Structure 1
Amino acid sequence: MSEREGVDEDTRRAVLDALATGPATGPELAERLGVSRAAVWKRIEALRDAGFEIRGDDGYRVTSVPAYGAAAVEFGLEAPYRVEYHDALPSTNARARELAKAGEDRVAVLADEQTGGRGRLDRGWNSPSGGIYLSVVLRPEITPREAPLLTLAAAVATTRALREAGVDAGIKWPNDVLSRETGGKLVGILTEMEGEADRVSWVVVGFGVNANVDPADLPEGATSVRAEAGDVDRRVFVQRVLEEFDALRGEPDAILDAWRELAITLGERVRVETPTGEVIGRALDVEAPGRLVVETDEDEVRVHAGDCEHLRPV
């Protein structure tokens, strides 16, 4: 089931943003939004139906926010995204692609579980209830060559959110986030796009986070936030990811510096399976727009894409 409150999405966000700053009376909200007081009341009732507790004495004031969902994530969110929430979807990336092809921009598709999740190279991605499955639709003014920077930004944003949640996480090139303590995989990121040689039409960045999930329900080699540090407030976690990602994505130099700071691949001896063969050596650096620089026995090699294996423990 999809969460739809039955009111205009932009107006819903405007009401949420207004209430997030403190109490506001019906006339104040009506004037601010350019609608009637009756329309304000309708929107307040819609939010109550979505699980918000809103008191109306001396102005409307939010006293309780639902644990999860579209409006819950939008409330207090300091990033310009509309959220579309589903209890379950085959794939948030697939739904995001539909929205992208329909012309949407800055939409975050969120689901409690996925029934057909997938990762890089069309591999399956186990997505039980309790995880965070998030796909962001963007129409950035970039070239296809620059798109990998969005994957790096997504990894940085998620790693920062994990560290705030008490998990000692680090980034493994190109798109995985692991526990530094156990080496288990916490996050996978999948970026897809459509465009022409000189410009991108749209980009979808998908985040799969093993959040409040038991490790027994995950594939071998994976771990979860629950196992590493206890359950996380998923609403707050998603907000932090979206805010960090949005702040980073327009600053290529900041993305690279932050990625290097959080990386666990740099300095490691690695084996990278690429479309043209195997590269073995020491990972030296990451360069724009996401190339891994590997020092082999013969030379420095720059790897644009591939599966990376650390040849000694992380």
Structure 2
Amino acid sequence: MTDTRRRLCRALADADGPVSGPALAEELGVSRAAIWKHVEALREAGFDIESGTDGYAVRSVPDYGGDAIAFGLDAPYAVEYHDRLASTNDRARELAMEGASDVLVVAGEQTGGRGRLDREWSSPLGGVYASLLRRPERPPAHAPIFTLAAAVAVTRACREAGVDAVIKWPNDVLLADDERKLAGILTEMEGEADRISWLLVGIGANVDVAAADLPETATSVREAGGTADRRRFCQRVVEVIHDIDAEEVLPAWRDHAVTLGRDVRVETPGGVVEGEAVDIEFPGALVVRTEEGERTVHAGDCEHLRPAGD
């Protein structure tokens, strides 16, 4: 997607009524012919755009796709959409190596999706598979805060869709009542000693996916009775990640967390840590109260040992 197309989508989405071609051309700093060309491209992509004496007016938007996600997206990111990709994170990494930034890579389905520890991630049609490429001015040690921010964003999107979602440390979003998985997050980065060079936040969310296409341990917004609007879900995740300040992340994460207060077993590079999860510390470490005292776990594979509420 070109910058002009992205800005045209934003201008049409923000308009209260029809907008003339000359007004759009002046606002975007392009020719009227360029506006017409992009409007025709949007029509080919499935937009219903009326054109009259007063100008252009969007009457309907496609269910999904790059232009559809960009239309009304309240965040300054270009959208690159593919019907099918091996991995949105892999594609976003290619763009990062080319020098790109502020790009959202989206796929209708993935053929090689993966989660943490290189585990396979089921990516059937109907999910939201997206990777956000950014270059935040943060040291590499702060990268985990972006994983937590994404978990908050996905949880809020689920709840806005009518599904009671909760967060399991460090990167899973679960259905509250039975803790089946709704979404996972995979953050990757490259950095120097004092600064992140680029950072990818990859999201795999089961939105409009049928139960037959999911593992038994997973569910979807659709199956949980929520509104399975992939376009709006994807937009809300990106908007929350963009808007949330670092100091807001931990309180928001705590509000949505199901791990805190639970007995856990965490497999870490240094061995097993077992006890009660009592808090989260910046930039994303889990504090576990063990028989030997409190341990701060920066990375690991977490297992809940008792149900919530016990």
TM-score, length-scaled by structure 1? 0.95
SS in 1 for 2:49: strand
The alignment yields a C-alpha RMSD, in angstroms, of 1.0
**Aligned residue pairs, count:** 305
Work out whether residues 207 and 229 of structure 2, in 8 Å CA contact, stay in contact via their aligned partners in 1.
Answer: no
2:47 is the counterpart of 1:49: no
Structure 2 unaligned regions, length at least 5: none
SS in 1 for 2:222: helix
SS in 1 for 2:55: coil
2:7 is the counterpart of 1:11: no
SS in 2 for 1:140: coil
Pick the aligned partner of 1:269 from 249, 263, 272.
263
Q: Write the letter of the residue equivalent to 1:44.
A: V
SS in 2 for 1:225: coil
- Distance in 1 separating the partners of 2:225 and 2:110: 23
User: 1:230: Cα distance to partner?
Assistant: 4.3
Pick the aligned partner of 1:106 from 102, 108, 116.
102
Q: Write the letter of the residue equivalent to 2:112.
A: G
2:274 is the counterpart of 1:260: no
- Distance in 1 separating the partners of 2:209 and 2:174: 15
Instruction: Percent identity, please.
Output: 63
- Distance in 1 separating the partners of 2:14 and 2:283: 38
State the partner residue of 1:36: 31
State the partner residue of 2:189: 193
- Distance in 1 separating the partners of 2:301 and 2:190: 23
User: 1:18: Cα distance to partner?
Assistant: 1.3
- Distance in 2 separating the partners of 1:190 and 1:39: 38
SS in 1 for 2:94: helix
2:239 is the counterpart of 1:243: yes
Q: Write the letter of the residue equivalent to 2:69.
A: V
State the partner residue of 1:173: 169
State the partner residue of 1:294: 288
Runs of 4 or more consecutive aligned structure 1 residues displaced over 4 Å after TM superposition? none
User: 1:17: Cα distance to partner?
Assistant: 1.4
2:156 is the counterpart of 1:160: yes
- Distance in 2 separating the partners of 1:209 and 1:83: 18
User: 1:181: Cα distance to partner?
Assistant: 1.0
Work out whether residues 49 and 57 of structure 2, in 8 Å CA contact, stay in contact via their aligned partners in 1.
Answer: yes
- Distance in 2 separating the partners of 1:217 and 1:231: 18
SS in 1 for 2:224: helix
User: 1:67: Cα distance to partner?
Assistant: 0.7
TM-score, length-scaled by structure 2? 0.96
User: 1:231: Cα distance to partner?
Assistant: 4.9
2:292 is the counterpart of 1:307: no
Q: Write the letter of the residue equivalent to 2:294.
A: E
User: 1:225: Cα distance to partner?
Assistant: 1.1
Structure 1 unaligned regions, length at least 5: none
Work out whether residues 186 and 203 of structure 2, in 8 Å CA contact, stay in contact via their aligned partners in 1.
Answer: yes
